[in-house]
A and B are shown apart, each in its own frame.
Chain A
Amino acid sequence: MGAQKKRAAAAAAAARVSEDPDDLARQPLQAILLADSFTTKFRPITLERPKVLLPLVNVPMINYTLAWLEAAGVAEVFVFCCAHSKQVIDYLENSEWFSQPNFTVKTIESHNIISAGDALRLIYEQNVIHGDFVLISGDTVSNMSLTQALQEHKERKKKDNNAVMTMIIKKSKPSPITRQSRLGTDELFMAIDPNTKQLLYYEDKADHSKGTICLDKMLLAENPSISLHNDKQDCYIDICSPEVLSLFTDNFDYQHLRRHFVKGLLLDDIMGYKIFTHEIHSSYAARIDNYRSYDIVSKDIIQRWTYPYVPDVKFCGNRATKLERRGICFTAFNSEIEQSRSAQVGSFTVIGYGTKIGSNSKISDSVIGEGCTIGSNVLIEGSYIWDNVIIEDGCELRHVIVCDGVIMKAGAVLKPGVVLSFKVVIGERFVVPAYSKVSLLQQPTVHDSDEELEYADNSSGTVEFSSIQGTADQSNGEMTSESSEAHKPKLGTGGVGYIWSICEGGQEEEWRHSVAPIPEDKLTELSEAMDDDQELVTQDRTALSTSGELISDSNASEGDDNEDSKDDSVYFEKEVEATFLRAVEENVKVDHVILEVNSLRLSYNMTSADCAGAVFYSMMKLAIKTPHSSASELQQNTANIITTWQKLLKSYLLEIDEEIEIILKFEEMCLESAKEFSPLFARILHILYDKDILQEDAILRWADEKEGADESDKVFVRQSEKFIQWLREASEEED
């Protein structure tokens, strides 16, 4: 009884200590933490352990998120677990998070959820969210203060009931060369009203090959000012009103938070829901979305941008380490490591408890977990080594991730970008090729990986792997990731594990998201490509800005780079062709077809010359596709089609330039795509003249232009020489 009394007194004391007038005034803030990213970017590691429990500078990621939520004044957190939910719940139960005063952590578990949208719908059904809440995923690291953002959100909400969400953004310049942010995500375009901070446009999958983005012109009409940013980073921290959950329930097809929900809300002007942004300046926030951001955020943590969530400050779930000065910079050290005298541990390195480092080993810019054994003459650079890893003498690791329990036999080498999943064994002197992922589990079939899930049945988790001894040294360095070979564990003598073949996007894109820095040659390659692009852009601009006379010039040169560069016009042509074919099949009225082509022309920003070219191209294509046995039959078909659709064609032939465009187009077709026409060139030209589609001026000017061209270009001019001759004489007669 006495003890009880004491406990009560102690609790009272606790209440007194933490009493804070601010806390009492506002209602408790809730948060939803998605402990599942619903992606497969961290495979194969996430087949065995959920992403939120992966160590980030020796602390499971979810601790950073929870510690921040607690410090930011959140009172209740709902942790939504899906893949490996048992592991997450077990971890949380054994951690200190369940015993914090003034901070409640509750878990919600579900197994048949495949997206964030589903998760939020489920939470809505449970009816646990009562007010504004913070929506965050369990892989976010931040040290920002929510107070201001929350206050702004509440004030906006008071004025305008439709302001349902405040999105946290942060300035971060994307690389001009790779077109991706420093966190390895695609360049993000946002249009924000500079006064109200309302988000008007959000595009993270912009097509860079075009070099343009499309804004709805209504945006410009409705808003007095818009600022368009490409240097903002989405922190994936959202302050939401409870309506957000019901919105997800109403729109059952919303799956992805950004791709569906945000974009859906921005496009939907019926309900008029608005999203606002809050930019943070001095504080830090970032989400770990892929291996590159894992690397970058780890380095930010070691460089203390996330202060106070840094290795040498104790927050829940970590053991404080000590900083030691190495040269100019600092290294976080634990007191209980065994380090050989001749080992060199460089700056910005974190080494966990009970790790042993042998003589003459060099470690720099790396994170090493607890209980690792590192032999002598080992080189570790920019790598992330988790707990209980054994690295034998003479291994080399550069920019890799090595999970728990991996054994690297003597002399093994990991090239940049390698990921070794749990308990893999790399054989002696084996060289793992760059960007490969090695796991004890076999790679799931392509069908599986298409699903947006990091979901693996725990029961089937122990795929029986036979420790087949890979044929050693022969395969050294020559490992190709062809699927047939990939499933054989070729990891050197005594190696255990499978090298995954690189799927989706292939090797090409692998360097974008890996832990390794982008190789030099890739960068130069990209910057060269970019220079070309820029030239093209300037070329296009001159073409647009110059007046009619010059168009023919640029058209003449277009023949060369049309195919590879001007995707737009290719798309446009395809669209026009599709429209035309449909019109032919369904007997649509000519007027309607004109209308449709006109709208296409507007949306692709084309001139009427382009339209004429495209329409003519489609007609000719149709003619050639119509079954025919001889050239004369083809000619007949063409004549028929031209007769039927001459009105359509004529509506674009406003001036003589368009007519010349048609001739040039035809010439091009004859040379490239439809060689069957080439013998008929002169005759079809005649037909076109007969039908009043082409005027004689156009044909003559075309002929004049070709006068100075190469011999090869003159083929058709010579073919239709007689016709042209006739035309010239006719005009002279008229005079």
Chain B
Amino acid sequence: MNTDDSSWWPMGDGVLCNAASQTYPSCNTFTHALSFFNKIEGSQATARQTAELLRSVISQQRVPYTNQAGALIDAVKAIGEQLIAANPVELAVGNIVRRVLHIIREEDLSLTTAAIGGLNLSAVSDDENDDDRDGDSTLSAAAVAAAARSTLRPPSLQTLLEDTPVSAAVPQTSSSGGDSEGKSKFSFTAADKSSRSRKLKHDVIEAVNELIQDIVTCHEQIAEQAVEHIHQNEVILTLGSSRTVLEFLFAAKEKKRSFRVFVAEGAPRYQGHLLAKELVARGLQTTLITDSAVFAMISRVNMVIVGAHAVMANGGVIAPVGMNLVALAAQKHAVPFVVLAGSHKLCPLYPHNPEVLLNELRSPSELLDFGEFSDCMDFGSGSGSPLLHVVNPAFDYVPPKLVSLFITDAGGHNPSYMYRLIADYYSADDLVVQRRATAGN
């Protein structure tokens, strides 16, 4: 695919990256905005910002007449690579970049099939005898644009069950994205070029808007399911603070469920304190405990509900430090361990993947006061190497077997189902976001 593309690409790859970086001076700003210094709190905000930036990148990208999808993908990859490098710990950035790439591929495919459908239709209208094909083509003409997302993604279980005829009708398109080039050559002759290019960009932007909308509303969508999970007079335990968990609990409260919440404070950042404050402000019965008291309290708890930093493809969870402890305690006492995660937190990578920066070591000053301990860190005497080391990791990894249930905006899922869900959102080609210049040729 790579070589094919470069032959169609008028400028060549090296020029492309220059062009990309010149055309988007805003990217540098944004790289900065996303990086640590002007840190955007929370993966939701980061995801949204990323999606908005990519939308503006797409809308500014000048599309050539041929292979527009390739141009868009290249542009998005160029920016995406920088964004991921700017903040490798925040996996949501990479997730959104990959989803946008997936959207572009899908829209391109759906347009292509529409074009093929148009061709087929005209061909069929000449013949006017094959009922079977006729039905097929009407379906593509009318419904492909709308149903493109479900028909053309790599066959998920759902699509296989629901739409067998359609996926059977277009087997060659779903096989690989590499064919798109061949088809765009084909469509060259068939469809009006300029209108088509505008259409692709338009469709992609529409889809990205939908994605942004999804990100914005993910809290509500998750919270809607709260009543199904939280029952009367239950005791819920959570660790640290997560906006998703907060909304989830509020939603249950609003539905007149009465329940109690145990909040583990989440050392060393103690965000549990903030959560407790907000819960009390909404009139929820709250008990604040230390992280180390979790095991003692877990036997009284009916369900553990926590937020996540990221959900990996194998169903493992990257979550604030201390979470593994809670998960193990919950397993010991057979308490359900429920993880809430918006779909932007679903990461198509596996935790063993070298690209995944599993942890972030934060400043030791969160643990202890530098001034008080400054005499312990006098390297000027003795062997010269400090005897006191302070390590402050931000995240824990919770293996999938400890998780009972994931609740995403698409509903509740078993950890073993996560890879299917991820296959619905991402294209296998994008798992490694690297431009062709380095990957191909």
Q: How far is the CA of A283 from the CA of B362 in the complex (A)?
A: 12
Cβ of A328 and Cβ of B392 under 8 Å apart? Answer: no
The 5 closest A-B pairs by CB, nearest first: A171-B371, A307-B363, A517-B384, A14-B26, A308-B36
Query: With the chains together, A100 CA to B33 CA distance in Å?
Result: 12
Interface residues of B (CB under 8 A from A): 23-26, 28-30, 32-33, 35-38, 49, 53, 56, 60, 62, 85-86, 88, 357, 361-366, 369-372, 374-375, 377-386, 389-392
Task: From the candidates A173, A300, A328, name the one contacting B389 in the complex (CB within 8 A).
Answer: A328
List 26 contacting pairs A-B, 8 Å CB cutoff, sorted by A.
A6-B23, A10-B24, A10-B26, A13-B56, A14-B25, A17-B30, A71-B38, A171-B370, A171-B371, A172-B370, A173-B371, A177-B381, A182-B380, A292-B380, A303-B390, A304-B361, A304-B363, A306-B363, A307-B365, A308-B363, A313-B36, A322-B357, A323-B361, A347-B389, A517-B379, A517-B381
Asked whether A18 and B29 contact (CB < 8 A) given A299-B386, A517-B382, the answer is yes
Min CB–CB distance B338 → chain A (angstroms): 30
Q: How far is the CB of A251 from chain B (nearest CB, A)?
A: 34
Give the shortest distance, in Å, between A383 (CB) and chain B (any CB): 10
Which A270-319 residues have a C-beta within 8 angstroms of B? 281-284, 292, 295-296, 299-300, 303-308, 310, 312-315
Q: Which residues of B contact A328 (CB under 8 A)?
A: 389, 391
Contact A171 B26 (CB under 8 A): no
B365 engages A305 (CB within 8 Å): yes
Given the complex, which residues of A lie within 8 Å of B26, measured CB to CB?
Answer: 10-11, 13-14, 17
Contact B374 A171 (CB under 8 A): yes
Q: Does A364 contact B (CB under 8 A)?
A: yes
Asked if residues B383 and A517 are in contact (CB atoms below 8 Å), the reply is yes
Other contacts beyond A100-B28, A365-B384, A518-B380: 8, CB < 8 A: A17-B26, A17-B30, A17-B33, A171-B374, A175-B378, A175-B381, A303-B377, A303-B389
A17 and B377 CA atoms in complex are apart in Å by: 41
Cβ of A716: which chain B residues have Cβ within 8 Å of it?
none
Q: Is the CB of B381 within 8 A of A518?
A: yes
Chain B contacts of A517 at CB under 8 A? 379-384
Q: What B residues does A310 contact at CB under 8 A?
A: 361
Taking a contact as CB atoms under 8 Å apart, the answer to whether A303 and B36 are in contact is: no
Say yes or no: B389 contacts A307, CB within 8 Å.
Answer: no
Please indicate the chain B residues that have their CB under 8 angstroms from the CB of A284 in the complex.
363, 365, 370
Interface pair A304/B392, CB less than 8 Å apart:
yes
Contact with B along A61-74 (1 / 0, CB 8 A): 00000010011000
B32 CB to nearest A CB, Å: 8
Q: Which residues of B contact A347 (CB under 8 A)?
A: 389
Q: Do residues A320 and B85 form an inter-chain contact, with CB atoms below 8 A?
A: yes
Q: Is the CB of B85 within 8 A of A348?
A: no
Contact A382 B364 (CB under 8 A): no
Residues of A close to B28: CB separation below 8 A:
99-101
- Identify the interface centre among A14, A70, A523: most chain B CB within 10 Å of its CB: A14
A711 to chain B, nearest CB (A): 49
- In the complex with contacts A3-B23, A7-B25, A14-B26, A182-B378 CB distance below 8 A: yes
A231 close to chain B: CB less than 8 A? yes
Q: Given the complex, which residues of B lie within 8 Å of A173, measured CB to CB?
A: 371, 374-375
* Residues in chain A within 8 A of chain B (CB atoms): 2-3, 6-7, 9-11, 13-14, 17-18, 67, 70-71, 99-101, 143, 170-173, 175, 177-178, 180, 182, 184, 231, 281-284, 292, 295-296, 299-300, 303-308, 310, 312-315, 320, 322-323, 328-330, 347-348, 364-365, 381-382, 399, 516-518, 520, 523
Q: How far is the CA of A719 from the CA of B432 in the complex (A)?
A: 104
- CA–CA, A71 to B32, complex, Å? 10
Establish whether residues B25 and A399, one from each chain, have CB atoms under 8 Å apart when the complex forms.
no
User: In the complex, what residues of A have CB within 8 A of residue B384's CB?
Assistant: 295, 365, 381-382, 399, 516-517
The smallest C-beta distance from A401 to any residue of chain B, in angstroms, reads 13
The reply to whether B380 and A305 form a contact with Cβ atoms under 8 Å apart is no
Contact: B386 with A315, CB < 8 Å? no
Q: How far is the CA of A641 from the CA of B60 in the complex (A)?
A: 101
**Which residue of A is nearest B53, CB measured?**
A17
- Of A17, A70, A172, the most chain B CB neighbours within 10 A belong to A17
Contact B371–A70 (Cβ < 8 Å): no
With both chains docked as a complex, state the minimum distance between the C-beta of B194 and any C-beta of chain A, in angstroms: 15
Partner of B361, one of A184, A330, A381, A518: A330
A10 and B60: CB pair below 8 A? yes
Query: What is the bound-complex CA distance between A17 and B46, given in angstroms?
Result: 12
- In Å, the complex CA distance between A657 and B313 comes to 93
Measured CA separation A399–B382 after assembly (Å): 12
| Least CB separation from A322: chain B residue | B357
Pick the contact of B374: A9, A172, A177, A282 (CB < 8 A).
A172
B79 CB to closest chain A CB (Å) equals: 12
Pairwise interchain contact A282-B365, C-beta atoms closer than 8 A: yes
Least CB distance, B22 to chain A, in whole angstroms? 8
Contact of A10 among B23, B37, B382, B389 (CB under 8 A): B23
Contact, CB under 8 Å: A303 / B386: yes
What residues of chain A lie closer than 8 Å to B23, measured between beta carbons? 3, 6-7, 10
Q: From A329, which residue of chain B is reached at the shortest CB distance?
A: B389
Nearest-neighbour CB distance to chain B for A99, whole angstroms, equals 8
With both chains docked as a complex, state the minimum distance between the C-beta of A389 and any C-beta of chain B, in angstroms: 20
**Cα–Cα distance between A323 and B358 once the two chains are bound (Å):** 10
- Taken together as a complex, chains A and B put the C-alpha atoms of A299 and B380 apart, in Å, by 11
Contacts of A307 in B (CB 8 A): 361-363, 365
Asked if residues A71 and B380 are in contact (CB atoms below 8 Å), the reply is no
Chain A residues with CB under 8 Å of B377's CB are: 182, 299-300, 303
Q: Which residues of B contact A170 (CB under 8 A)?
A: 370-371
Inter-chain contact B374/A17, CB cutoff 8 Å: no
B197 CB to nearest A CB, Å: 15
Q: How far is the CB of A210 from chain B (nearest CB, A)?
A: 24
Contact A305 B25 (CB under 8 A): no
A365 to chain B: which residues have CB within 8 Å? 384-385
In whole angstroms, how far apart are the Cα atoms of A328 and B357 in the complex? 18
Q: What CA separation (Å) do A70 and B85 show in the bound complex? A: 20
Q: Which residues of A contact B85 (CB under 8 A)?
A: 314, 320
Q: Contacts A6-B23, A101-B29, A517-B383; is A282 near B366 (CB within 8 Å)?
A: yes
A374 and B365 alpha carbons, distance in the complex (Å): 35
Write out the residue numbers on chain A whose beta carbons fall within 8 Å of the beta carbon of B30. 14, 17
Q: A13-B56, A101-B28, A284-B370 are in contact. Are A314 and B35 (CB under 8 A)?
A: yes
Shortest distance from the beta carbon of A326 to any chain B beta carbon, whole Å: 12
**Alpha-carbon distance A351/B109, docked complex (angstroms):** 46
Contacts of A329 in B (CB 8 A): 389, 391
- Of all chain B residues, the one with the shortest Cβ separation from A293 is B380
CB of A348 to closest CB in B, whole Å: 7
Residues of chain B contacted by A381 (CB below 8 angstroms): 384
State the CA gap A522–B355 with chains docked (Å).
49
Also in contact, A182 and B60, with CB within 8 A (given A101-B29, A365-B385): no
A231, B373: Cα distance in complex, Å: 12
Return the chain A residue nearest B385 by Cβ.
A365
- Determine whether the beta carbon of B29 is less than 8 Å from that of A296: no
In whole Å, how far is A29's beta carbon from the nearest beta carbon of chain B? 15
Does B364 lie within 8 Å of A172, measured CB to CB? no
* Residues on the A chain within 8 Å of B60, using CB: 6, 9-10
Q: How far is the CB of A143 from chain B (nearest CB, A)?
A: 7
Determine whether the beta carbon of A305 is less than 8 Å from that of B370: yes
Contact yes or no, B363 A2, CB < 8 A: no
Q: Are B33 and A18 in contact (CB under 8 A)?
A: yes
Q: Which residue of B lies closest to A364 (CB)?
A: B385
Give complex CA distance A517, B385 in Å.
9
Which of B357, B365, B391 neighbours the largest number of chain A CB atoms within 10 Å of its CB? B365
Complex CA gap A536/B30 in Å reads 65
With the chains together, A231 CA to B24 CA distance in Å? 50
Least CB distance, A2 to chain B, in whole angstroms: 7
B379 contacts A523, C-beta separation under 8 Å? no
When distances are taken between beta carbons in the complex, the residues of chain A under 8 Å from B24 are 10
Give complex CA distance A284, B365 in Å.
Answer: 8
CB contacts (< 8 Å) of A322 on chain B: these are: 357
The answer, among B53, B371, B392, for a CB contact under 8 Å with A231, is B371
Residue of A nearest to B384 (CB): A517
From residue A672, how far is it (CB to closest CB) to chain B in Å? 41
